[in-house]
Amino acid sequence: MHRLIKHGLMFGNLFHVDSPALVERYNRALEHLTGKRTELSDFHIDISGYSPEVGDELDDHLYLNHAGVNRQFILLSMEQRGCPLLNTKFSTSREILQQFMDANEAQLFALTARDAVTGELVNSVYDVSTPARLFDIRRVEIEADTTGGTLRDAEKLGGLVDRFKSEPDGWFDDVLIAEMITLAGKTGDVIRNPVKLKQMGFDQRNFWTAHFGGLYLFQDLDHPALIAPAGKDGLEDLPIKYVFDAGNRNQIAKFFDYNDLVEPIVKARGVDAAAILRQKMDFILVDAVADLGVDLSGANRADMRRLARHHGDKLPPEFHALGALVRWAENGGAWPRITSDHPAYFYTLRASDTKDAALVNMLLAELAPKDARQMFICHKELFYRTYAGWAETKKAYVADFLVAEYQVDKAGARAALFGHDAPMEEPRRAKPDPVSEMIARVGPWGAVRRR
């Protein structure tokens, strides 16, 4: 993993806690939440305040996420808003924290100027000892305050001010006035500058969880399902009709289609479909030759073509199917029929424009595991776990590619691969094809018969 860390592909973009004042604030917050402190003089934290260095020191990388539910957080700076979330247990957690910080930007900026803000992502489930407990997670709410209880004191002070203004003898109540003065010294003027965070709740019906080998739960759809790529063992007697694993390719394809969750890359508007598919082919090629001692450093397009010619007998069906699709997209060749039984099928799809697009792309990354770029962008937990088992040649190639092609423009790369902005005009293929009209009516894989 040192190569990834060196290039900023792992533990990158974290907030550096490097001043005695920030370290002390972090320790007060850490002690407030967990009863523990760190002896480190500097370390890095993610959006939630989790630090891999502190986790190593405490020998507990779930010190802010006990049992993997109801994640706690420590905010030292609004700069954390752009940080990643490490050790993710639920796919929705980072987005919830970002929305909370966006909605309370001014208040959090003022509060973190003097103290750390601590809190928790709260739902009704305190453990997920069984898969059925996941179905009890329906809504997540955020509870937050400073380590010193500024918000609690501000609320109390507001109540005292109301008493002072409404009670006839308020002006003569020395005890009331003294208590107001004491609290005001902690909170400031809550009349002119009210200190209050918005009460926020977030529905959590469709999500991925790392528990039980990694599960994708889609409840808020016309046709709900639980998808467990690693297998269905132990997932019996759940309150959902359909449970699929990676072997149920036809069923997953129908699930996608019935809920309009995916679209073929070659039909996506405003993207260079051939370039995207060709890059997927490169990753498949690298995966096929990585154990042959081939030098891939600095490989260009001509080098990749030469590798494909020399090692054609080693190339899997995914490579040849995507190649046929590229030829159709660029030159109007014969239309390749790729059904859901084919190992290349999920490589040809991307999420359609729905509220669950990120979750669907995450699932597609797991169903098309040789596309290292999509896996890194959409499912980093899986990428890091899979990367550890790759040959050194593949590790080097993928890391170099991500540095050169992704790190330089992350937003642009995401938009090119997964964006849904309509272009000013319809994209055109190099040559028209007589099957175009049929594809427009039924889709590139043919009509899917619905029950």
DSSP 51-115: -HHHHHHHT-TTTTSGGGSS-EEEES-GGGGGS---S-SBTTHHHHHHHHHHHTHHHHHHHHTTS
Q: What is the mean pLDDT of the chain?
A: 85
Predicted local confidence at residue 424, as pLDDT: 35
Are 230 and 365 part of one and the same domain?
yes
Predicted local confidence at residue 154, as pLDDT: 57
Helix and strand numbers, DSSP H then E, in the chain: 17, 12
Are 370 and 225 part of one and the same domain?
yes
Give per-residue pLDDT as tens, 233-258. 989 889 999 999 999 999 999 999 99
> Which phi and psi angles does 63 have, rounded to 5°?
-65, -20
Predicted local confidence at residue 37, as pLDDT: 97
3-state helix, strand, coil in the chain (%, to 5): 50, 10, 40
The alpha carbon dihedral of 251, 257, 259, 264 has a sign of positive
Identify the CA nearest to 40 among candidates 62, 73, 18, 65: 18
Are 106 and 218 part of one and the same domain?
no
Between CA 73 and CA 49 the distance in angstroms is 6
Are 199 and 256 part of one and the same domain?
no
Please name the amino acid found at residue 39: E
Query: Across residues 28-55, what is the average pLDDT?
Result: 96
Assess whether pLDDT exceeds 60 at residue 272: yes
Between CA 48 and CA 441 the distance in angstroms is 47
Are 423 and 326 part of one and the same domain?
yes
Assess whether pLDDT exceeds 50 at residue 63: yes
Residue that is written with structure tokens 């098309």 in the block: 368
Q: Which of 163-167, 275-279, 314-318, 332-336 has the lowest mean pLDDT?
A: 163-167
Secondary structure (3-state) at 136: helix
Q: Which domain does 50 fall in, by range?
A: 2-150+194-204
- Contact status, residue 63 vs residue 12, Cβ threshold 8 Å: no
The two three-digit tokens of residue 98, written as one number: 């970002």
Contacts of 379 (CB under 8 A, 6+ apart): 362, 365, 366
Q: What is the DSSP letter of 222?
A: S
Query: Across residues 374-384, what is the average pLDDT?
Result: 96
Q: Which of 83-97, 99-113, 252-266, 352-366 has the lowest mean pLDDT?
A: 99-113
Between CA 229 and CA 227 the distance in angstroms is 6
Q: Which of 57-66, 69-78, 143-152, 343-352 has the lowest mean pLDDT?
A: 143-152
- Contact status, residue 90 vs residue 64, Cβ threshold 8 Å: no
Secondary structure (3-state) at 244: strand
> Which phi and psi angles does 10 have, rounded to 5°?
-140, 135
Are 224 and 199 part of one and the same domain?
no
Residue that finishes a domain, picked among 166, 185, 204: 204
Contacts of 133 (CB under 8 A, 6+ apart): 125, 127
The two three-digit tokens of residue 363, written as one number: 């699932």
Are 260 and 403 part of one and the same domain?
yes
Q: Which residue has the higher pLDDT, 182 or 188?
A: 182
Between CA 298 and CA 283 the distance in angstroms is 14
Assess whether pLDDT exceeds 60 at residue 388: yes
Predicted local confidence at residue 228, as pLDDT: 97
Residue 201 confidence class, pLDDT cut points 50, 70, 90: confident
Are 200 and 246 part of one and the same domain?
no
Predicted local confidence at residue 437, as pLDDT: 46
Assess whether pLDDT exceeds 60 at residue 80: yes
Count of domains forming the chain: 2
Are 262 and 352 part of one and the same domain?
yes
Query: Across residues 369-397, what is the average pLDDT?
Result: 94
Q: Which residue has the higher pLDDT, 269 or 399?
A: 399
Assess whether pLDDT exceeds 80 at residue 353: yes
Assess whether pLDDT exceeds 60 at residue 51: yes
Structural domain contains residue 448: no
Residue that finishes a domain, picked among 204, 239, 268: 204
What pairs with residue 206 in β-bridges?
Answer: 218
- Contact status, residue 339 vs residue 254, Cβ threshold 8 Å: no
